[in-house]
Chains A and B, each alone.
Chain A
């Protein structure tokens, strides 16, 4: 699936994204320092935020889903939240079990803790049928156990023929689940490579400087 080159400008920031191709069944992790444009890129390709150049992908070419960094729990039970996107109740129940939400499935989503809300939001996104699913820091407020369970679900979703784009601040997470890692800095895509290749053999100085913080 081809994402056209586009730009997005704010008052003091400009994102310049080059043309990118994403394959079904694969996971792509976006890494980079705060404010480099990862979330803006994610919002633009998901159509949540309008790029300066208009739509970056035609709606009839690919159905793109997006899980916001600030997921909104709707005022209804956890299960009903997930059923908003789920194709079947069975699909919702499977995700509820896998993400450890069984004990709180009937609880009002407004009353969840940060970690519970993040798991509910991830389940709600994974319950949908999207060609590309963009996840903006889905595990940021989760503990390690929940993070690993979430990563399993994300991998399963990709394994069933969906493309996943994940924005993360955890290089370890990118290394664990991504087929390819894309490094962004200063509003541009600096480097894209297979995970191990980028971590061990980054071409660009900015990528190497960034990876140094992680001891790579």
Chain B
């Protein structure tokens, strides 16, 4: 174990092309999917949190169900849709980064929606009441709700990114963990561990933890800065 750890640290200091490729694919997949999920999730979350629509409670229940959807089920559904017998086979997305991003978006968006909806529901009422009382337009109210939601958006993004970077079930099913193509950090850890090669697995594990810490620190610093805004 000690030897693997030393080798892993050496590998991080002098990364191989394969390691860099895995990191690049992971970054592409995680950043793209978390940003897409954030845009969709924030808009739907704000609407759900501030709406008085009758279908709201039904949509919230559906979304909460989707939050708990096991990643392998998501992977299975996409596999059936995009594989050789599926209706979307002509897109030829099977075992591609695009399909991995789609899988992640499907898994992460409900989390963003849920976080946004819960937080917005608490502040939307007072904001709308104050805006209406002050004669502000609907677009001004929306801008003010968005401005008040900055913390929630950052928190949601943190959760989305953390989930995207750490997910393994769905991406391995639809991506296939193909070296130099769809292999991401989590699938690579699994693959190399199964082969008995711990060095790359440990190196990737360390990088995952470091990345997670960096994201957390960055968000905390941004939140502090926003609290002091003038």
Nearest chain-A residue to B151 (Cβ)? A75
Indicate if A138 sits at the interface (CB-CB under 8 A).
no
Q: A72-B127, A76-B147, A84-B140 are contacts. A66–B229 as well, Cβ < 8 Å? A: no
Residue with the highest number of chain B CB atoms closer than 10 Å, among A63, A76, A106: A76
- A108 touching B129 by the CB < 8 A rule? no
Residue with the highest number of chain A CB atoms closer than 10 Å, among B133, B148, B227: B133
Contacts of A70 in B (CB 8 A): 126
Which of B132, B227, B228 makes the CB contact (< 8 A) with A48?
B132
A-side binding surface: helix, strand, loop or mixed? loop
- B126 touching A68 by the CB < 8 A rule? yes
Q: A68-B126, A74-B144 are contacts. A130–B135 as well, Cβ < 8 Å? A: yes
How far is it, in angstroms, between the C-alpha of A134 and the C-alpha of B127 when the chains are bound? 17
- A66 touching B230 by the CB < 8 A rule? no
Q: A75-B147, A76-B147 are contacts. A68–B229 as well, Cβ < 8 Å? A: no
Q: Which chain A residues in 154-190 approach chain B with CB under 8 Å?
A: none
How far is it, in angstroms, between the C-alpha of A107 and the C-alpha of B227 when the chains are bound? 11
- A48 touching B147 by the CB < 8 A rule? no
Indicate if A147 sits at the interface (CB-CB under 8 A).
no
Nearest chain-B residue to A80 (Cβ)? B230
- A63 touching B130 by the CB < 8 A rule? no
Indicate if A128 sits at the interface (CB-CB under 8 A).
yes
Residue with the highest number of chain B CB atoms closer than 10 Å, among A67, A72, A85, A124: A72
- A77 touching B148 by the CB < 8 A rule? no
- A125 touching B134 by the CB < 8 A rule? yes
How far is it, in angstroms, between the C-alpha of A179 and the C-alpha of B144 when the chains are bound? 36
- B135 touching A68 by the CB < 8 A rule? no
A190 CB, min distance to chain B CBs, angstroms = 26
Chain A residue total in the interface (Cβ 8 A): 26
- B134 touching A46 by the CB < 8 A rule? no
Q: A72-B126, A72-B127, A74-B148 are contacts. A67–B230 as well, Cβ < 8 Å? A: no
Indicate if B214 sits at the interface (CB-CB under 8 A).
no
- B229 touching A76 by the CB < 8 A rule? yes
Indicate if B136 sits at the interface (CB-CB under 8 A).
yes
- A107 touching B230 by the CB < 8 A rule? yes
Contact with B along A66-106 (1 / 0, CB 8 A): 11101110111100000011000000000000000000001
Which of A63, A74, A76 makes the CB contact (< 8 A) with B135?
A63
How far is it, in angstroms, between the C-alpha of A124 and the C-alpha of B123 when the chains are bound? 19
B interface, CB within 8 angstroms of A: 123, 126-127, 129-130, 132-136, 140, 144, 147-148, 150, 226-230
**23 chain-A/chain-B pairs, Cβ below 8 angstroms:** A48-B129, A48-B133, A63-B135, A65-B133, A65-B135, A66-B132, A66-B133, A66-B134, A68-B129, A72-B123, A74-B130, A75-B147, A75-B148, A76-B147, A76-B230, A84-B134, A84-B136, A84-B140, A85-B134, A108-B229, A108-B230, A125-B134, A128-B135
A interface, CB within 8 angstroms of B: 46-48, 63, 65-68, 70-72, 74-77, 84-85, 106-108, 110, 124-125, 128, 130, 134
